[in-house]
Amino acid sequence: MESTPLLARPKKKSIWSRLAFSRFRKRELSSRVIYVGQLPEEEYPPNYVCNQKYNIITFLPLVLFEQFSFFLNLYFLVMALSQFIPSIRIGYLYTYWGPLCFVLAVTLFREAVDDFRRYRRDREVNRQRYERIALDLPANDYRPFITERVSASALRVGDIVMLHKGQRVPADMILLRTNETMGTVFIRTDQLDGEIDWKLRIPLPSTQKLPTDAHLLDIHAQLFIEKPEKDIHSFIGTCTRLDDEESDSLDIENTLWSGCVVASGQATGLVIYTGSETRSVMNNAVPRSKVGRLDLQINDLTKVLFVATLFISFLMIVLKGFDGPWYGFLFRFVLLFSYIIPISLRVNLDMGKAFYSWTIQRDKAIEGTVMRSTTIPEELGRIQYLLADKTGTLTKNEMVFQKLHLGNALFDNRNFHEVEAYLTQYITKGTHSTPISPMDEGDGARGPSPRSVWRAVLALALCHNVTPVYEVDDQRADEAQSDMGSSVMSESCGGAVPQQQLCDYQAASPDEVALVKWTDMMGVSLYRRDLHNISLKLRAANEIMQFNILQIFPFTSETKMMGIIVQEESSGEITYYVKGADVSLAPLLAPGWLRPQCALLAADGLRTLVVAGRTLTRNQYLEFESEYKEARLSVTNRNERTAAAMSKLHCGLTLLALTGVEDRLADDVPRTLAMLRTAGIKIWMLTGDKLETALCIARSLHLGGGARWLVAPDCGSRRDAYALLHSLEQADDRTDLVIEGETLEVCLRLFPEQMVEVLRRCSGVVVARCSPTQKARVARLLRAKRLVVAAVGDGGNDVAMIQEADIGVGIEGAEGRAASLAGDVSVRAFAQLARLLLVHGRRAATRSAALCLFIVHRGLIVSTMQAVFSVVFYFSSVSLYPGFLMVGYGTVFTMLPVFSLVLDKDISSATALRYPQLYKQLTKGRQLSYKTFCIWIGISIYQGGVIMYGALVLFEDQLIHIVEISYTALILTELIMVALTVVTWHRLMVLAELVSLLMYTATLLIFTTYFDADFIRHWDFWWKVITITVVSCLPLYIVKYMHRKWSNRQYKNIRT
């Protein structure tokens, strides 16, 4: 055990001060200074994860408040509360409180289960144990180096935590040390940014060189940390060794963000942000609460029914006269007609949505599909616009190196063997070890020389962040010691031995892996890599080339390039290699063949990458290193000063090569797109690739289906945007448009309404160089036009678009699960969308519409009967049926047959996929339009009037006979109406009809209080009931028969 001098420990604050801070003060985000081995005096948020919506005290009040914020529930609460007033009481309390309590009980149970699941997940995360260095031991002369295991929720800013392979990072940290022999650590960030490729993280040089973790308490180091930010791709800070006068700049490569997972070795980190200040929590913006179009329509219809209830009640008072306490009678009439608004509507629809989600997940044809949002499955049947990402969505995100262009030669799959031959010729002559600069000119202009091929392949083999990963012998790895002074065998190539077998390459981009695999095929293999060295194995000479890594410049979305400075050990030559997008590198290179060849490769659908290089003298490098380090250590304007230093490095670059990598198309995507276009869905592709590549992919996919593709010119001013809008307005409606994200941004900023209308007229739209923010804005603008928008993507950069759309579809792809977890629906491939929308979406929309109309019909028909009864009996505000019968009517006797409509199928799955044009009818919303609603109102009024007047005409001598005849005819009418509505019978539908009929028959015989048993057994009862039922249903059967005959003639080639 080692002991170190005790650092000053700040005095603990009182419990009251902590409570006062947390409860009554709102902390402002600010930068901070942390000393290694010492806890800061400032108070920071606790590292406690809490995703619960409620606690024991707030659960009931908050859930009830949310439920009664819905007009329907609030309406029935008022109706139920009114029954405590004797003067306006209609019947028994359970008549109103029973259905309301049932609805609330279902909601409370669902919310309780969901919140308890969130509580268990939070508890599991908060209770995860981590090893940290004890910093708050009792004060004495020396503090021993002691580690302790604590829960994640107990971690504080300033704690030093040791993480092992496979552990989740519990808080935002700075990487201080690692036991990896290569001096770096790999992490997985798929739960943070959606990318599954391992990321390389580098410890601080001043702490990595320490012998053990115990020596972290010996140093006097000060870290300046920027204020908490949301950006997970950038970080600014500095580390100063006050006892050694050494300074390091802190960057994103030195960080371990909360939610990441250590993929290899052991990492020791310093906690800098906790709880709500961590990057993961700050980026967990609450997604917009999505409400389906069906729910909005039902809400509007409910308000119409409420107005109708008030109108009928007021009309009754007008006819009755305003004598006496008329307002009391008015309220009683409102209570009597309250069944016009059925409380069971939301319960049945929610149960239906759960059933639709269950059937989608059980469909073996789209196996792996998960409905993460069960509240809007019917929206899948009303999609008008589909916004799709390209890479990983329409393509496989499987990169294959296809072409290498050297200016005077083009190599592809047909002649890659020539590249290997050139390399063999160059290597076997030994020229790679001579001091001749690889940047020297003098190659033959008529064709490539071995040296030009060598320097292009060498640049590709060196300029990357790829690390080879080797298989590790489990027994030897177990015998390796832990980090208290000795190092373990590394899983990466940095500590590999020659007899180990190469397992895979790890990189932040699949493009880089494709390039390295291709150089390996050509005979220049990436053999070893660590923080400071790269080893290349030359197959032709069976030799190893050693390079020292002097600087690495990671790829950023701003620069769109990645660079590296290496020094060959044998010759001492220093070379700067850079690769990136043509838009970034072309201005830095001499004009020539680059731009036209980029356009040609992009026209072939390839992702292009420009490779360039420059030889540096020792003095040039030292001068750049000094200026670059000074810029990196600056806290203010770091990016600007760094860019200025890099601009000097970019002077004198030589173009080495142009590469083309293919991103292969996903399976069955062209056929799926054709089906969706036939279904009337407009498909827009939003991608970050360059315009030429996006256009080629769109053409190969037949994305637009228009007569021609129109490429929009660049716009930088209002005049340019206006000219573009004018030209697009003159274009044909069958025109497909390709536009860059910057141009679209200018047009949307200056002319948002006009631009959206122009885009809607196009048969297909492709937006190239589109940022995640622009993707989300496009979805938002389309939704503002009351259009139903779906978005599909597979990466973390698609999450904003997915959350903004009406329906977000996430694909579990090579870029991780961020999009899949954020989506309302998760699928495994884009091709599954056809069945998801055309079959399941169509059925969910039609079934929900039918279920809604039928439940409204069920309430309207009984309210019509109540109105007729009140009019006939001198506007009496007396209920027609006892409370027991009213509750049974909406539950026991009709619930199962009505809900069985969710099993109905108007056409088969094969027919829906064979004729996608049937989907167009749903996008117009005619299944639940005001026209359809009025038709069902008419049916309800007709049937209710026939049943009630029929019972009155056939009335004999007792009022109870009216109840028996009308109620029995009402139940039979509902069962027959369900049968008339069904298109395709299911065995459960038949069972529901029979069970309901048997239960009502048993009720007639058992409950003699409500029914006259002698009269029921008499023939007079049955012929009157049958007559009334036939008169109420026969005309509707005739109308429906004629309608089906007409539909069969119209769709005789479709319906099967």
Residues 6+ apart with CB under 8 A from 1025: 965, 968, 969, 972
Quote the CA–CA distance of 695 and 599 in Å, as a whole number.
11
Determine whether 298 is exposed, middle or buried from the number of CB atoms within 10 Å of its CB (0-12, 13-18, 19+). Answer: buried
Determine whether 910 is exposed, middle or buried from the number of CB atoms within 10 Å of its CB (0-12, 13-18, 19+). Answer: exposed
Determine whether 19 is exposed, middle or buried from the number of CB atoms within 10 Å of its CB (0-12, 13-18, 19+). Answer: exposed
Residue 79: alpha-carbon gap to chain centroid: 41
Contact assessment for residue 856 and residue 299, using Cβ atoms and an 8 Å cutoff: no
Catalytic residue among 159, 172, 248, 389: 389
Residues 6+ apart with CB under 8 A from 194: 795, 796, 797, 799, 815, 816, 817, 818, 819
Q: Which of 497, 545, 500, 505 is nearest to 521 (CA)?
A: 505
Quote the CA–CA distance of 326 and 693 in Å, as a whole number.
75
Pairing status of strand 255-256 against strand 147-151: unpaired
Instruction: Write the single-letter amino acid at 491.
Output: E
Residues 6+ apart with CB under 8 A from 504: 468, 469
Max CA pair span of the chain: 120
Quote the CA–CA distance of 432 and 437 in Å, as a whole number.
9
Q: Which of 825, 694, 701 is nearest to 770 (CA)?
A: 694
H/E run at residue 613: strand 606-616
Quote the CA–CA distance of 67 and 1056 in Å, as a whole number.
43
Q: Which of 591, 628, 167, 223 is nearest to 407 (CA)?
A: 591
Q: Which residue has the tokens 């109840």?
A: 963
Quote the CA–CA distance of 1024 and 1027 in Å, as a whole number.
5
For 754-769, b/e burial (b = at least 16 CB within 10 A) is bbbebbeebbbbbbbb
H/E run at residue 95: helix 94-126
Determine whether 288 is exposed, middle or buried from the number of CB atoms within 10 Å of its CB (0-12, 13-18, 19+). Answer: exposed
Contact assessment for residue 335 and residue 866, using Cβ atoms and an 8 Å cutoff: no
Contact assessment for residue 901 and residue 847, using Cβ atoms and an 8 Å cutoff: yes
Strands (E), 199-274: 199-201, 221-225, 237-241, 246-250, 255-256, 261-262, 267-273
For the record, the structure tokens of 130 come out as 């981590």
User: What backbone phi and psi angles, to 5 degrees, belong to 561?
Assistant: -150, 160
For the beta sheet containing 199-201, the strands, ordered from the edge strand earlier in sequence to the opposite edge, are 199-201, 185-188, 261-262
SS3 label, residue 661: strand
Count, in order, helices (H) and strands (E) of the chain. Answer: 37, 35
Contact assessment for residue 796 and residue 368, using Cβ atoms and an 8 Å cutoff: no
Is residue 389 annotated as part of the catalytic site, yes or no? yes
Pairing status of strand 172-178 against strand 255-256: antiparallel
How many Cα atoms occupy the beta-carbon half-sphere of 808 within 13 Å? 30
Strands (E), 747-871: 764-768, 789-793, 807-811, 825-827
> Which active-site residues does the annotation give?
389
